[in-house]
Structure 1
Amino acid sequence: MQQFIDASTPGIRLWTEQRGPADAPPLLLVMGAQASGLGWPEPLVDALAAHHRVIRYDHRDTGRSSWPFEEQPYRIADLAADVVTVLDGLGIPRAHLVGLSLGGMLAQMTLADHPDRLISATLMGTSALSTTPYTRPDGTTVPVGELPGIAPEVLEMWARPVEDHGAEAEVERRVAHWRVLAGDLLPFDAGFFRALERRIIEHTGHYRVGTAHGRADVSGMLRTDALAGNRVPTLVIAAPAEPVFPPPHPQHIAQAVGNARLVEIPGMGHALPPAVHAPLAAAILAHTGAVPPAG
């Protein structure tokens, strides 16, 4: 079922889709920067929807949601507010929350600011919104600013200007982007990502490349103390091939966020190829299934 929800900013609408039994525990999927909700692959959504009322949505300036940034610039904090807006618009008091990349940061902001709205949280492909140093297994500490940065091949791709050579050329550019983000531990399935991006373009109605989230105001995102005191059961997914927030970023999150535990998905990078769907769904469902249902 598809439904549009009005955001807190007048004139902005958010596209949402629900799948699974209406009376099952709700689970909200939050995608990364400039990524449509269709970036959550169908097989993964279906696996989660066997046990949950799964909701995915398009951020502002993605997919079928409003594209307002040029006329109405917003903050990353406004994207975090949209998480609660989606729950409110669908009449959901509390939900399980799963966030990837920027979505993992929005999930952390929701954990800190609205813990009463969450049953559990799952964070992946992201970094801690915390100044707490990372403690290595040997007991030595690493300041947050000294944790590993984004892989050079990713930065190089992000620095390239995007030129319009038609829809198919844009699909191939996006596939090349996924190839770099996926890491080098699993075989790359170009056909899977090609089909994914064609569905996203069809869903969106155009193949323009959005840049709003990279230009949005990032001030006020840190939640060090609130995350340290978190009591919402939180799962952190460790991806050994992650090129954007490489290890030990997941280990750092698990230390900085209270009531968090770590599960590694073998071979996973900063992408969701078919090889990770089953183990990732199993990890998420084991986590959500171990949490008492919302009262």
Structure 2
Amino acid sequence: MPTLVTPNTGIELFYEDNLPQGSAPDAPVILLVMGLGAQLTLWPDELVAALVGDGFRVIRYDNRDIGLSQKFDGARAPSPAIQVLRKKIGFPARVPYTLKDMADDGIGLLSGLGIDKAHVVGASMGGMIVQLMAIHHPERLLSMTSIMSTTGSGKLPQAEKHAIDALTAPLPGMEEEVVIAHGLNIVRNIGSPPSAEFPFDEAAQRERVLRNIRRSVYPAGLPRQLAAIIDDGDRTSRLAAVRTPTLVLHGEADPLVKREGGEATAKAISGARLVTYPGWGHDIPVPLIPRIASEIVAHARNA
């Protein structure tokens, strides 16, 4: 089982290392960082294959507290409402770990694998994590791509209620059919609205959810990761100092992290380039993968 204890944070991370066929290990590296409560398998195999096919060594990993990486069993996260209130009055709640800790994990994984520099790509919370990599570890980054993410500013439009409710709803049971229904409800409420370009394939989505839950089901990690997001707050002023070449990708129909979150991210980082797509929600739909991969590859090569 490919796991590594990061030399800086001491966290055991599960990772997958994908090398181009016939390539040496010194191929340029793309590190993929996934979002809230999401396993590395939420990066579609088709996207990984596209990036590898363009000559990149692609590494994806489970963040701490999810998937097959180290869990923080028993650690308690403050309730989101209480945490937000305490933060507003200047008395932040204590959290099991921070978003910076999670950024340090990714950098530690690179160090443990003997990789000095990498292109980093983060989706949703993963976008926040790679932003913090650029803030705290700029010397380790060749480029950054922030996908369907945000600066964390409280002034931006908030998630649609149905989307955040679906994502954070308690799992009502651990029976397989119950967990599948829970996962499909999330997909329906945060993903791209069904359209001719992005049709909703019930059978394919069910199979994908089934593969993920048979790999791991660990709902306890989500509230702790959410607490880390709330604790980190607004990154706008910190992002102003970032000089890492940055690409921002965002969907114009994202109900969870609104388009304005991507616009604010690109505005906060000097020289960042913003690309948006009509009809794209908070997912990585297969029909869009060629365009997403093309943008990431072009950005990495230009950087």
Q: TM-score, normalised by structure 2?
A: 0.83
Give the structure 1 partner of residue 80 of structure 2: none
Instruction: Tell me how far 1:170 sits from its aligned partner.
Output: 0.5
Alignment of 1:205-216 (within 5 A): 207-210=217-220, 211=222, 212-216=224-228
- Pairs within 5 Å for 1:117-132: 117-129=140-152
Question: 2: CA distance between counterparts of 1:147 and 1:216?
Answer: 19
Equivalent-residue separation in structure 2 for 1:60 and 1:214 (angstroms):
12
Confirm whether residue 107 of structure 1 aligns to residue 130 of structure 2. Answer: yes
Provide the residue aligned with 1:65 in structure 2. 69
- Alpha-carbon distance in structure 1 between the residues aligned to 2:302 and 2:267: 21
- Residue of structure 2 equivalent to 1:26: 29
Given candidates 100, 109, 113, the residue that maps to 1:90 is 113
Runs of 5+ consecutive residues of structure 1 not aligned to the other structure: 130-143
Distance change (3 Å), C-alpha of 1:147 and 1:277: same
Q: Who is 2:178 aligned against? A: 169
- Does residue 1:53 correspond to 2:57, yes or no? yes
Question: How many Å apart are 1:190 and its aligned residue?
Answer: 2.7
**Structure 1: distance between partners of 2:277 and 2:107:** 28
**Cα distance 1:261–1:19, how it changes in 2: closer, same or farther (>3 A)?**
same
| Structure 2: gaps (5+ residues) | 77-95
- Residue pair 1:232, 1:259 contacting (<8 A) in 2 also: no
Count, aligned residues: 273
Q: Distance in 1 between matches of 2:231 and 2:276?
A: 31
**1:37 counterpart residue number:** 40
Identity %: 34
Normalising by structure 1, report the TM-score.
0.85
RMSD across aligned C-alpha pairs, in angstroms?
2.0
Pairs within 5 Å for 1:189-268: 189-204=201-216, 207-210=217-220, 211=222, 212-216=224-228, 218-220=230-232, 222-268=234-280
What is the match of residue 181 of structure 1?
A: 190
Is the contact made by 2:236 and 2:265 (CA closer than 8 Å) also made in structure 1? Answer: no
Deviations 1:221-266 (A, max 9, x none): 5444442132211000021111112122211111101120011234
**C-alpha distance in 2, partners of 1:92/1:232?**
17
For 1:242 and 1:200, how far apart are their aligned partners in 2? Answer: 22
C-alpha distance in structure 2 between counterparts of 1:111 and 1:191, whole Å: 39
Within 1, Cα distance between the matches of 2:177 and 2:27? 39
- Displacement, 1:278? 1.3
Aligned to 1:147, which of 115, 132, 156? Answer: 156
Distance 1:262 1:157, change over 3 A: same
